[in-house]
Amino acid sequence: MKLRTISLAVAVSAACSTSVAAADSSDPIVIPIHNWSSQIVMSHVVGQIFESMGNNVEFVTTDSQAVYESVRLGDVTLELEVWEGAFGASFRAALEKGGLHDAGDHDAVTREDWWYPMWTKDACPGLPSWEALNDCADLFATAETGSKGRYLDGPVDWLKHGQERVAALGMNFQVVNAGSAAALWAEIGAAEADKKPVVVFNWTPNFAEAVWPGEFVEFPVWVDGCDKDPAVGPNPDALYDCGNPANGYLKKAAWDGMEGKWPAAYGVLSKISFTNPQIAEMAKFVDIDEMEPEEAAEAWLEANESVWQSWLN
């Protein structure tokens, strides 16, 4: 902690002596917090960097779809994890209305979709094809879903169109929303002892890939417009008849007023870029090591000083 503060002070004073940029406003930079661990830890990592630069930071817990409207209006200053699969549509809608912008991509490549732990494939060897999964729907039937297979989707604010995809592809599955990310891990953990077949929402980068080997279900490949134009995708009469992008982006988004109001913090934001292993580790600190998000952020900053120092110049 002490080392970090000292080297940050050196870096900041070096930057100040060679630049005539206006000072950042003392109003708080408002950083939104959502309901999955990497986003919470990353938000604290970046918040702690901003605080070390002398900025005030305020964290607010917000809905992960509605946040794009809040950033557009300047009620929230930025968003650090714009996942293409879950939030691409809300991000694009806010971009079109104006007020927020794309503040650059992280290095990370993302995927979010139906996923199963590898033992599921022993019971349904045609996987990962979605048609093979559908032929095995019986294996996933529960008291709750009757003759249909149960698919445990993420919380309702992540992905809105699971049941519509099932209908568009004529699948014999029922979508059930988990109440939290923890409910997804509990579902996989409970199935593990008996190697019970399960299919749940999952994503990468995440801690889960280091714990449970598994695969994403291969749906019809995502094509731009699959959520807007029924003609796109294999079913000519339906939206949502594609999987999520298999090589999705992870972006940062910022309120258009951020650069003018907090120019130094904005300069750092524009350079920030996390990799897949860095993001998976942030999740692991919380979901496996059971650290508090603030503690996890401190640990990450201490262990990765050279990474974030490079964003301050």
Q: Which of 45, 69, 65, 66 is nearest to 57 (CA)?
A: 45
Pick out residues in 56-85 that bind ligand TMO (CB under 6 A): 83
Distance CA 154, CA 151 (A): 10
**112 interacts with ligand TMO by CB under 6 A:** yes
| Binding pattern for the stretch 199-218 against ligand TMO, x by CB under 6 A and - elsewhere | ----x---------------
**222 interacts with ligand TMO by CB under 6 A:** no
Q: How far is the CB of 204 from ligand TMO (least distance, A)?
A: 9
**114 interacts with ligand TMO by CB under 6 A:** no
Q: Which of 33, 40, 41, 51 is nearest to 262 (CA)?
A: 51
Tokens 């999955």 locate to 36
Q: How far is the CB of 208 from ligand TMO (least distance, A)?
A: 11
**308 interacts with ligand TMO by CB under 6 A:** no
What is the total count of residues that contact ligand TMO (CB under 6 A)? 7
Question: CA–CA distance from 201 to each of 65, 69, 184 (Å)?
Answer: 17, 25, 7
Q: Nearer Cβ to ligand TMO, position 205 or 267?
A: 205
Pick out residues in 11-40 that bind ligand TMO (CB under 6 A): 36
Q: How far is the CB of 112 from ligand TMO (least distance, A)?
A: 4
Cβ count near 11 (within 10 Å): 18
Pick out residues in 242-301 that bind ligand TMO (CB under 6 A): none
Contacting positions for ligand TMO (CB under 6 A) = 36, 83, 86, 112, 154, 158, 203
